[in-house]
Structure 1
């Protein structure tokens, strides 16, 4: 008895055996797997933000980053204008003078504080500041000596976070005179977190005014300096082996090794973009003053979130290459693999990135990559072995996955050559796929 195949039955057979349908399904599945992949990106971002929150919490308790600001000489003045024979008008303001020379030496002693699974770099530092103000003549500003209120002169300077001050700073000026320093939260001060010291210039304005003071500070992550001197010299050293030099100026010389770092800056006023003297209030050039900052960042040698994010961006590529390799395997071996098994394998490859993220927080990126890769490769290979009932095919597929994950790991480690190496590797992978698929008669599939 001969039975005729119905159109429905023929269509079901086509769905089961058609390579075209399988390729369409693989394409749709890859697109669907973009959804959990994007959720992985959000999870990585959330964990990275949590790390930043912990750093802020520790910084609030210890001390925030420090910025060494100043000093600036401030001399009030009062000027009278004759309007008529019987009336006059009085104006007042401040003269601001930047140092002729500014020399800073900073020595950092660093340590790592732990909060849960996160680390925060903090430091203690002893800073020596010295220099001098020169050419204290203000006739070019239209101010004569009799208009200066010398008994109200002061030095203004500041730090990034007043909480980090470990001792009272004392300023030494001419003839060893010591000036006490007080915080001042006046809105007209040049610097946020400002300090000031009253000067005793009642005997007259000197031609030169030297200064020197020490600061004992603690801070978190960054130590920055402001370029205020007509000539500014900064020397910084510490026992941190992974510094990052940042800001408006990079050091002229630096030495970094396993025991720590040493760096030096020698700056002139040509790139300072500030006048040596000016009249006005504290806000006139305050933004420019604080924008001319440079220094060192104590970079933790832990960048697992950045590397994990970069790795996750290759998820679609790895999944697609794995599916194509699996598809060619079933076509060449003429052993069909159900579409549901593709879904399971794709899901396992997405979960790989959660393994990578969670382990990287505990053991670091490299070890986590090894653990997650071996686990995923072993799981998928054993699964394929049970599907194909062939140990050699499973070993071959394990080798293919190893090549894929090794390729991604190498790309992540590279920076400048990543694009070139990645392009060459992808070209070779496509060439290999073309080679193994060249004899397949797709019309019969």
Structure 2
């Protein structure tokens, strides 16, 4: 009969495999939802504690007023008088040299079940400013005069809540105290979110006398995951160390030297002003703010950065694993069908459905366990439970514990192969392709001498007498 034919059974298994895509899709949607919840937790911590940090400075801001006379004309275009005009501007003086020496101490904060990486930066910024020449202040109008204001040292930090105490600044041998905000900048300007220290005492005298000013700034800063530094010096160098063993280097400039071990990372950067437009971007931000143009939506200055990346994002790993769900279900159902076909057994569609659901349940169990345990422990636990369940179940279905154990060993081999795919992200496509090819090759070689027509007919003949003996 048709319902006993091999072809009908294969068609039914294909339909079952398609139907099992429904629970796999639901599990994948749940996985993505949990991943979004983790991102929302990170955003909530950034809003209530501190977010990723971008460091710009220190630099000297020299405010000034440019004054000039502008001719007034009548309706016929004749000059009838002169009108005094003025505008407030700022001249930025960047360090000749800037060296950042710091250590990032990692820490984790919790929002519900989610762990979000933070860091505490303990840094010293050393460098110096060249001698200031009032003649270097640019003029935008012909014949204008310049009136210099009170200069100050500016330090921009993207999230001021992360400041760990007040930074200690020594400029030209004078200790300067920082105050809130950057005077003269609009509140919505990109660089307005900072602090300033007015020049005073020996530092102010040296500035006005046109003498170079060395500086040293000690800074404590808390941030979430990423630290970006803008290279504003004529030559900017940085050296960062941390016990975090999983850094991610990014930004416009990668580290020139870096060492990553199980004990942490050690990275160095060296950026010359010739290869970056960071200074021009900072100037544009200040100039736009002075002219009343909001810079909040503008391009961020070029920077080099480092992030404390999570070694294993459980939601990303679970999502990658679930992408192989349909393949796994197909391979397990294929193995069960081979047992049924060659051992002259008879498995009910419900039994195939239970086997497929057990594989789908593995991915849900993996997601739930990985939120509480290390990923490899969660994977081993979920895979072990799935293998044990299938081995016990097939010991009864296939009529022997040896058959059940061999089927469980096959499923265990598949789970081991999947973990190899997840652990080797760069080679996942190659390994996955080899796995599929190997399974298909094994199936083809094992069945290369099988007479499928005879096998299907013999199976039908074996079933027919027993069916005939059933009383009406």
TM range (shorter): 0.7 to 0.9
C-alpha separation in 2, matches of 1:190 and 1:439? 74
SS in 2 for 1:362: coil
1:131 aligned to 2:127? yes
1:327 aligned to 2:337? yes
Q: Aligned match of 1:252 in 240, 249, 256?
A: 256
Q: Aligned match of 1:280 in 281, 284, 287?
A: 287
Q: Aligned match of 1:57 in 44, 51, 76?
A: 44
Q: Quote the residue 1:5 is aligned against.
A: none
Deviates more, 1:193-202 or 1:373-382: 193-202
Task: Give matches, 1:368-387, under 5 Å.
Answer: 368-387=378-397
- Structure 1's 404 and 330: CA in aligned 2 closer, same or farther, altered over 3 A? same
C-alpha separation in 2, matches of 1:232 and 1:286? 25
SS in 2 for 1:341: helix
Q: Quote the residue 1:391 is aligned against.
A: 401
Q: Quote the residue 1:191 is aligned against.
A: 191
Question: Structure 1, unaligned stretches of length 5 or more?
Answer: 1-12
Residues 237 and 262 in structure 1, CA contact (< 8 A), matched pair in contact too? yes
1:429 is displaced (CA, Å) by 0.9
C-alpha RMSD of matched pairs (Å): 2.8
Task: Give matches, 1:305-344, under 5 Å.
Answer: 305-344=315-354
1:412 is displaced (CA, Å) by 1.0
SS in 2 for 1:149: strand
Deviates more, 1:79-88 or 1:27-36: 79-88
C-alpha separation in 2, matches of 1:152 and 1:258? 50
1:354 is displaced (CA, Å) by 0.8
SS in 1 for 2:266: strand
Q: Quote the residue 2:415 is aligned against.
A: 405
Q: Quote the residue 2:68 is aligned against.
A: 80
What whole-Å deviation, never above 9, does each CA across 1:315-343 have from its counterpart, x for those lacking one? 00011111111112211112121111111
SS in 2 for 1:191: helix
- Structure 1's 189 and 427: CA in aligned 2 closer, same or farther, altered over 3 A? closer
Q: Aligned match of 2:158 in 157, 160, 166?
A: 160
Q: Quote the residue 2:9 is aligned against.
A: 22
1:80 is displaced (CA, Å) by 0.5
Deviates more, 1:131-140 or 1:109-118: 131-140
Q: Aligned match of 1:48 in 19, 27, 35?
A: 35
Under a length normalisation based on structure 2, what TM-score does the superposition of the two structures give?
Answer: 0.83
| Matched pairs, number | 432
SS in 1 for 2:371: helix
What whole-Å deviation, never above 9, does each CA across 1:91-119 have from its counterpart, x for those lacking one? 32333333322222222233333444332
C-alpha separation in 1, matches of 2:83 and 2:96? 36
Q: Aligned match of 1:171 in 169, 175, 187?
A: 169
C-alpha separation in 2, matches of 1:115 and 1:102? 37
Residues 226 and 290 in structure 1, CA contact (< 8 A), matched pair in contact too? no
Deviates more, 1:28-37 or 1:291-300: 291-300
Q: Quote the residue 2:313 is aligned against.
A: 303
Question: Structure 2, unaligned stretches of length 5 or more?
Answer: 72-78, 457-472
C-alpha separation in 2, matches of 1:405 and 1:274? 50
Residues 157 and 191 in structure 1, CA contact (< 8 A), matched pair in contact too? no
- Structure 1's 380 and 418: CA in aligned 2 closer, same or farther, altered over 3 A? same
1:281 is displaced (CA, Å) by 2.8
Q: Aligned match of 1:240 in 217, 239, 244?
A: 244
Residues 274 and 288 in structure 1, CA contact (< 8 A), matched pair in contact too? no
What whole-Å deviation, never above 9, does each CA across 1:407-441 have from its counterpart, x for those lacking one? 11111111222222222222111111112222332
Residues 125 and 218 in structure 1, CA contact (< 8 A), matched pair in contact too? yes
C-alpha separation in 1, matches of 2:137 and 2:111? 56
C-alpha separation in 2, matches of 1:353 and 1:192? 48
Deviates more, 1:147-156 or 1:241-250: 147-156
C-alpha separation in 1, matches of 2:396 and 2:377? 29
- Structure 1's 380 and 362: CA in aligned 2 closer, same or farther, altered over 3 A? same
Residues 127 and 215 in structure 1, CA contact (< 8 A), matched pair in contact too? yes
1:377 is displaced (CA, Å) by 1.6
1:52 is displaced (CA, Å) by 2.5
Q: Quote the residue 2:451 is aligned against.
A: 441
Under a length normalisation based on structure 1, what TM-score does the superposition of the two structures give?
Answer: 0.87
1:90 aligned to 2:85? yes
C-alpha separation in 2, matches of 1:162 and 1:388? 67
What whole-Å deviation, never above 9, does each CA across 1:96-150 have from its counterpart, x for those lacking one? 3333222222222333334443323233222222323336455583369983332
Q: Quote the residue 2:58 is aligned against.
A: 71
Deviates more, 1:249-258 or 1:126-135: 126-135
- Structure 1's 415 and 151: CA in aligned 2 closer, same or farther, altered over 3 A? same
What whole-Å deviation, never above 9, does each CA across 1:165-223 have from its counterpart, x for those lacking one? 22223433234252432234733755152222333558846254443322222222222
- Structure 1's 287 and 176: CA in aligned 2 closer, same or farther, altered over 3 A? farther
